[in-house]
Structure 1
Amino acid sequence: MNTLTHDVITIDEAKEKHDGLRIYHHEGDDYAQGVINLAEALPRNLCVICGKAL
């Protein structure tokens, strides 16, 4: 059985900045960084009114 393990990541702050999401964190592995990068990129590509892709 294969199991995936990832480091613990600590989110220090998350806020809206320059029409996007900015997440300040420490620790975490490459997988966690990828998830954060995705979370920060999504709001820039979605309509704030209806949520549709731009």
Structure 2
Amino acid sequence: MQTKEPYPSSFSEEEWALIKGMLPCRSKLGRPPRYTQRSVLEGILYIVRGGCGW
């Protein structure tokens, strides 16, 4: 299995364990999310830290 190369905005397991408890729990109603909270937050930090060229 191929592993992803971490980005500078990626969280370590220890960091994610601290952050995860601060996020709201997912509602049991509705469809399952397409992306995990972790991947969404890492994506936001990737844009904030590095910018995004058009």
TM-score (norm 1): 0.30
TM-score (norm 2): 0.30
Structure whose residues are more often helix by fraction: 2
